[in-house]
Amino acid sequence: MKHIHILGICGTFMGGVALLAKNRGYKVTGQDQNVYPPMSTQLEQQGIELIQGYGTEVLKEPNRPDMVIIGNALSRGNEAVEYVLNQRIPYTSGAQWLAEHVLHDQWVLAVAGTHGKTSTSSMLAWVLEYAGLKPGFLIGGVPENFGVSSRASEAGFFVVEADEYDTAFFDKRSKFVHYHPRTCILNNLEYDHADIFADIEAIKTQFHHLVRTVPSEGLLIYPNHDQNLIDTLDKGNWSHHETINLNGENGYWQARLLKDDGSEFIVICDGKEAGTVTWSLIGQHNVANALATIAAARHVGIPVHHAIDALAEFKNVKRRMELRGTVNNIHVYDDFAHHPTAIETTLAGLRNKVGRDRIIAVLEPRSNTMKMKVHNQTLAPSLSQADYVFMLLPEGESENFAVVIDALGENAFVTENFEQLLKAIIEQSQTGDHILVMSNGGFMGIHQKLLDGLQK
């Protein structure tokens, strides 16, 4: 049995790689700076030993691993990384290991894009599961239909969330370049990850690297109104393609909403009605995700009506408009949205669902891109559907958000103090409110603290 050691094991992607390696019979151990639930619990339940911090004792004899997988959050200067390099321990990236040991003999269905990757990957894995194809998957979240973020394939199909973030400190290509999909969904393309991409053109270049890997018999699925994707494909496109368009009549896949919140819609394929989706999700972004899912599923042989039946039983991913609880008819939701486009579409979906009820948006703008002021002109407008906005700024970052704070105006409360924020939200809340908490981090457990505070 070979021993694999993973540096940065508690990230969703690396944790998924760990589970896949364990499933393939490897001894798996790992380290991370922050070992905490839910990923730590999921890994420990699988018998994977976790070490807090990046000390080197676990890399020395008699524990020396056969291979070290290094996560993209680690860089030169890290104690464990330097030890691996100096001692010439074989190392690779998570994406490269996945490609060589899991994906090489699979029909890979990849979901890429700035937004919607996790939700769409989860939908697609579920549709394949519902059809009896027993897919493997690696998803950057925990799909409620499965309860785990990754698993091995039993029938040769593998769904992967294809992230454009860089692979590792020694491989600056996007992770998705390694996956070589046969079916590829491109949800959208916007500027993000300002810490690694200089501009939108740099991201287009990486997306086109992905497009180059899709075979001529493969399928690209994308919205034909996304100019950045069109620009990317204009650089060269050698595969079959099917387009999606919610707002016009020139897409191969279209939807006609029967309810404004997107919870019921007719699927139109090549100009013909193909069935009606009635499900628990809301928002036009999820309608688009569903159309892409149906198209990808059809590419592997699943009839449209079977995919529609599967979506009716789809449970969303944790932290995607997840209702965490209701107290005194005040509803508290958790959502991963942190880019202005995702914030805007998430709020729009909730607004269509709740009508004139008050929406309180609670945002933690903690991404590197936010801190670099890239979204300063678009963040406040993206929150316009909320009746009141609360924002917890990273400590010492108020100056970077001065433009946003000014644009939000009087219906906003902005602070760097968590306890002040919590108290202010509870005081502002009224019966019938919908409190939407948005963050790409843990937000110090604010959801349960809000519910407890509202109960009192």
**DSSP at 451:** H
Closest CA to 313 of 111, 123, 116: 123
Domain 105-312: CATH architecture, name and number where available: 3-Layer(aba) Sandwich (3.40)
| Res 21 pLDDT > 90 | yes
Give the Cα separation of 114 and 28 in Å (integer): 31
pLDDT tens for residues 402-439? 888 888 888 888 888 999 999 999 999 999 999 999 88
pLDDT for 219-233, tens place per residue?
999 999 899 999 999
Q: How many degrees, rounded to 5, is the angle at CA 358 between CA 384 and CA 454?
A: 120
- Higher-pLDDT residue of 198, 252: 252
Interval 93-106: pLDDT, tens? 999 999 999 999 99
Once rounded to an integer, what is the mean pLDDT over residues 25-40?
85
For the chain, give every domain's residue range.
3-93, 105-312, 322-455
Above 90 in pLDDT, residue 205?
Answer: yes
Full DSSP string of 183-236: EEEE-------TTT-SSHHHHHHHHHHHHHHS-TTSEEEEETT-HHHHHHHTT-
Q: How confident is the model at residue 372 (pLDDT cuts 50, 70, 90)?
A: low
User: What is the model's pLDDT at position 396?
Assistant: 79
Specify the pLDDT at position 403. Answer: 84
The CATH number of domain 322-455 is 3.90.190.20: yes
**Residue 426: Cβ-neighbour burial (10 angstroms; 0-12, 13-18, 19+):** middle
Q: How much is the average pLDDT of 354-374?
A: 82
Q: Check residue 438 and give its pLDDT.
A: 87
What would the mean pLDDT of 151-180 be, rounded to a whole number?
A: 95
pLDDT for res 198: 85
- Output the pLDDT for position 371: 67
At 252-287, the pLDDT tens digits run: 999 999 998 899 999 999 999 999 999 989 888 899
Quick one: average pLDDT of 134-138?
Answer: 97
Calpha distance 456→451 (Å, rounded): 9
- Assign 140 a pLDDT band (cuts: 50, 70, 90): confident
pLDDT score, position 353: 83
> Comparing 16-20, 241-245, 362-366, which segment has the lowest mean pLDDT?
362-366
Looking at the whole model, is its pTM more than 0.75? yes
Greatest mean pLDDT among 253-262, 290-299, 391-400 lies in 290-299
Q: What fold does the segment set 3-93 form as a domain?
A: Rossmann fold (3.40.50)
Please state which of the ranges 66-70, 213-217, 379-383 shows the lowest mean pLDDT. 379-383
Q: Which residue has the higher pLDDT, 331 or 338?
A: 331
Q: pLDDT of 65-114, one tens digit each?
A: 999 999 999 999 999 999 999 999 999 999 999 999 999 999 999 999 98
Q: What is the pLDDT of residue 276?
A: 97
pLDDT band at residue 367 under the 50/70/90 scheme: confident
DSSP bridge pairs for 277: 265
Q: Is 455 exposed, middle or buried (0-12, 13-18, 19+ CB in 10 A)?
A: exposed
pLDDT surpasses 70 at 199: yes
Percent of the chain with pLDDT over 70: 97
Residues 308 and 411 sit within 8 Å (Cβ to Cβ): no
**In this structure, which amino acid lies at residue 68?**
V
**Overall average pLDDT of the 354-358 stretch:** 91
Q: According to the model, what pLDDT value does residue 60 have?
A: 95
Cis peptide before 38 (omega within 30 of 0): yes
pLDDT attached to residue 444: 82
